[in-house]
Structures are given as structure tokens and as C-alpha cells.
Amino acid sequence: MNIPKTSYPRIIIIGGGFAGIALARKLSKQEVQVVLLDKHNYHTFQPLLYQVSTGGLEPDSIAYPIRKILKDFPNFHFRLAEVNEIDTTCNTIKTNIGDLKFDYLVVASGSKTNYFGNTEIEKHSMAMKTIPQSLNLRSLILENFEEALLTTDLHERIALMNFVIVGGGPTGVELAGALAEIKKGILPKDYPDLDTRLAQINIIQSGGCLLKGMSENASAKAEDFLEKLGVHVWKNVRVTNYDGKTVTTNSDLTFDTATVVWAAGVQGATIKGLDAKDFVTRGNRILVNQCNQVKGFEHIFAIGDIACMATDEFPNGLPMMAQPAIQQGQQLGSNILKLIEEKPMKPFEYKDKGAMATVGRNKAVVDLKTLRFQGVFAWYVWMFVHLFFLIGFRNRMVVFVNWVYNYIRFDREARLIIRPFKKKFKL
Ligand SMILES: Cc1cc2nc3c(=O)[nH]c(=O)nc-3n(C[C@H](O)[C@H](O)[C@H](O)COP(=O)(O)OP(=O)(O)OC[C@H]3O[C@@H](n4cnc5c(N)ncnc54)[C@H](O)[C@@H]3O)c2cc1C
């Protein structure tokens, strides 16, 4: 891997997401060697992926080169690599570019889409966890409209314009809202020959409310916002299959559709060597103690989505969100330094800053610790918070300018089929 030898302890971080970057930044000017590995050479700001999928933002405005984030730190090394295995006996990681020994290892590999074992759904539906997946979805949505314009078969046209989003969490809600805005603001302008009333947006939630985990008010308001935008909200309905043509559910309800977006769950992106039952718990997450140490090891840690740290308030693990990941990364930085100096580590305490979701123009819901509000002000708060946490001045400016432009012009100019999506099935 061509990593220089050093007398400093070597800390390997797997994953340049929110958790890995926060940790690397914390360790950047210390007397340690940090090696960060990621299968992408950029950090992805996942909360805005849905805007890439719906043509609101270009992908490069929500991605940032990992090398640039840490370019000024002398003991920092980045390698573009996929880690395939962790050998906990020899303290070595095995990657597609070679093996590397560590003194301390931090797994920050995040999460991946959970299809709950349904291979048909996995094969035919669209996920939205990475930038390439979001670009695939963007292409598919636009290709479906192009096809709908050409087909003479009404049933096929309806299916091409029927969108089914499975999962009523923030991702599903935000995507449904954005698609509804495309139907209202873009379709009539771009496709005057198409009966845009045929475009339907469905969001299916297995539980009794949207945005589970947020307040009842937020959930009800989000549903109200979506319905006002013309989205069909189906609650207490569980999707059982999708064969590339029809979505079946546990009720009589079926949907003929060319587009299913699976936003119904994620699971830890475990790596061989730390994926055995001894280490992994609910949601395929690695069980860690209050100092993020993996069971049985003093020098191996897990942080962010991949880590399951149970607390009194969150007995099933902290939420798989950006804030716990960032806070754990920052705190682990201090703790590893303490461990090196043989001082006691400080147990992690999660500072819950609340949750928020946007449904569309002037429509968002915000639950802070002591304050809950919805509507236009919530939308401004949502935008401010997302701009603040985006990495890089250029990205913040580009996103801000895009949002202002889209707001004034009711537009989404990134509706481009740059890399056509090859469907694995035909209606
Ligand atoms: C569509 C979407 C919307 C979201 N919206 C919100 C939101 O509004 N608010 C919020 O708080 N949270 C949101 N989240 C969740 C939030 O993005 C995650 O909780 C957060 O990214 C977790 O950070 P992490 O560092 O643990 O993992 P990630 O950010 O997922 O980073 C993991 C990194 O590890 C790398 N990696 C994985 N496996 C390997 C391997 N084997 N080898 C090398 N590299 C590897 C990946 O490439 C990735 O860069 C959203 C998530 C998604 C998908």
C-alpha cells in the first residue's frame, strides 16, 4: 500500500463517511499515523442524495474529495481501497490493494440497504445509498417519461408513470415530495404531449405513521403536506414482492409500476472477520461498549451506523443518523489518544439534537429537543442545517445558489440522462 514506516502508532480507519472523517479530523495534528481507506475517493453527503435523484442538484455538489479534506495533515494517508477482511489475530486488514497492519483499528463502514432477504425486490428495485445509485434513479425516472411518451399501450404508460416508494422514513418522505413537485412543476413544461395526470406517486409504510421516531405532530404534518402535493400515502401496508412489473403487498393492494424505490431499511455494512454472531447484533451492527470498543478487543473500535451502542434512551442502539456518527468520531479521537497515553477513556454520551425532514417547497418538519415546528420556518431551518453540515465552501455555495434558483424558477435543471440506466427487466 506504500504507507511510510513511522514510530507513531498506526490507526486505520475504514470508511470516509461522517464518522470516519470526524475521527480523522480529530486525530489530524496528533503524534499518530492515520490511514483512512474508502472504496470511494469522496465523502458523500447522503441526506441530499434524493435531490440528485430528482434533478435538483448535481452529484458533485454533495460529494467532496477525501484527500482534500485532510490535505494539510502530514501524518495522514488516504488509500482508495475496499477492505475485504479484518484479521483480528494478526492485527491486519486485507484489501483489494494489499494488506496492512494496524495498532488501532476503527470500523466506520456505515450501512447498506436492507432487503430483508427478498432477492426479487433487491434485483428489481432501486436503492438510494450512494451517488451512483442516485444517478441510476435519476436516469430511470427520466427514461420512464421518455418511454411513456412513445408507447401506445395505455397500461404500460400508466405503469411507467407510476412511482412506488417503499418506506416512510425521511428518505421516502423527501423523495415522494420531490417527485410530486416534478409532476406539478416540470412534467407539464417538459412533456406537453403527455397526460401528466397519469403520473402517480405512492409511498408505502408498513407501520401506522410516517417519520417513525419523530413526534406525532411531525408525522401527521408530513402526511398532510404529502397529500396536499397529491402523493398517495399507504400506511399499515407491507410490501411482499416486486417482480419488475407488479408490487404485491400483504393486502389486496397491488401496484403495476416500472419504478420501485426501496427506502425501507438499512443494515450495518459489516466486514468479514468482524461479522460473526459474537460481534454483530440487531440490524447487522457491531456491538460496542460506551467507548466504542468491539467486544473482546481494547484496540478495535466501531463508530457511526455500523456500531450498535445501546443506551438507556436507545436500548437498540443509537439512531443511524449523521449526528451520532459525527459525535462518536470526535469523541473516539480523544479516547484513542487517551488509550495511547494509558489514561482512562471517557464513555460516550449522545447529545440528541433532534430530527428534521423536508417534504418540499416551504414544507418541512423539525423536532428539536425542546421545540417542534413545521412549515415555512422549518423549511428554512432544514436548509440552513444542511448547508452548514455540507463539506466544502464551494459545495455550500453551489447548493445554495441551486436552491435559490430552483425556488425562484420552480425548476430542477439537472434533469439529465448522462449515464443511461440499463433496466434488468422490461414491462
Ligand atoms: C438517502 C439518505 C438520507 C439520509 N438523510 C439523513 C438525514 O436527513 N439526517 C441524518 O442525520 N441522517 C441521514 N441519513 C443517514 C446518515 O447519512 C448516516 O447515518 C451517516 O451517513 C452515517 O455515517 P457513517 O460514517 O457511519 O457511514 P457513511 O456515511 O455511510 O460512510 C461509510 C463509508 O464507508 C465506506 N465503506 C463501506 N464499506 C467499506 C469497505 N469494505 N471498504 C472501504 N470503504 C468502505 C463507504 O464507501 C462510505 O464512504 C441518510 C441516509 C441516506 C442513505
pLDDT tens, position by position, 362-415: 999 999 989 999 999 999 999 999 999 999 999 999 999 999 999 998 888 899
Ligand 1 site-directed mutation target among 46, 111, 350, most atoms within 8 Å of CB: 46
Does residue 424 have a pLDDT over 70?
no
* Ligand 1 atom closest to residue 38's alpha carbon, by position in its atom list: 44
Looking at 3.20.20.70, 3.30.1490.20, 3.50.50.60, 3.40.640.10, the CATH number of the domain 10-39+81-113+266-340 comes to 3.50.50.60
- Residues 174/357, Cβ–Cβ less than 8 Å: yes
| Span 256-274, average pLDDT | 97
Cα–Cα separations (whole angstroms), residue 53 to 46, 73, 182, 188: 12, 34, 11, 19
Q: Which residues are catalytic?
A: 174
| Span 12-17, average pLDDT | 98
Query: Which residue carries 454472531 as its cell?
Result: 277
pLDDT at 410: 87
β partners of residue 164: 202, 260
Is the torsion defined by CA of 143, 146, 150, 154 positive or negative?
Answer: positive
| Span 116-122, average pLDDT | 96
Ligand 1 midpoint to CA 68 (Å): 19
Identify which of 306, 245, 310, 398 has the alpha carbon closest to the alpha carbon of residue 17: 306
Element (H, E) at 294: none
The C-alpha atoms of residue 93 and residue 101 are separated, in whole angstroms, by: 6
* Ligand 1 pocket, Cβ-based, cut-off 6 angstroms: 14-20, 37-40, 46-47, 49-50, 82-83, 108-111, 128-129, 170-171, 269, 271, 304-306, 320-323, 325
| Span 116-141, average pLDDT | 97
- Residues 427/246, Cβ–Cβ less than 8 Å: no
pLDDT at 89: 97
Does residue 191 have a pLDDT over 90?
yes
With both helix axes pointing from N to C terminus, report the angle between 18-27 and 322-340 in degrees, rounded to the nearest 10.
Answer: 30
Architecture of domain 119-264: 3-Layer(bba) Sandwich (3.50)
Q: Report strand pairing: 10-14 vs 33-38.
A: parallel
The C-alpha atoms of residue 212 and residue 235 are separated, in whole angstroms, by: 12
Intra-chain end-to-end CA distance of the chain, in Å: 47
Burial 76-109, CB ≥16 within 10 A → b, else e: bbbbbbebeebebeebbbbbeeeebebebbbbbb
Does residue 425 have a pLDDT over 80?
no
Give the type of residue at 405.
Y
Ligand 1 midpoint to CA 284 (Å): 15
Taking CA 229 as the corner, what is the angle to CA 228 and CA 231, rounded to the nearest 5 degrees? 100
Q: Where are the domains of the chain?
A: 10-39+81-113+266-340, 119-264
Ligand 1 site-directed mutation target among 64, 96, 109, most atoms within 8 Å of CB: 109
pLDDT at 326: 98
Pairwise pLDDT comparison (213 vs 44), residue with the higher score: 44
Does residue 423 have a pLDDT over 90?
no
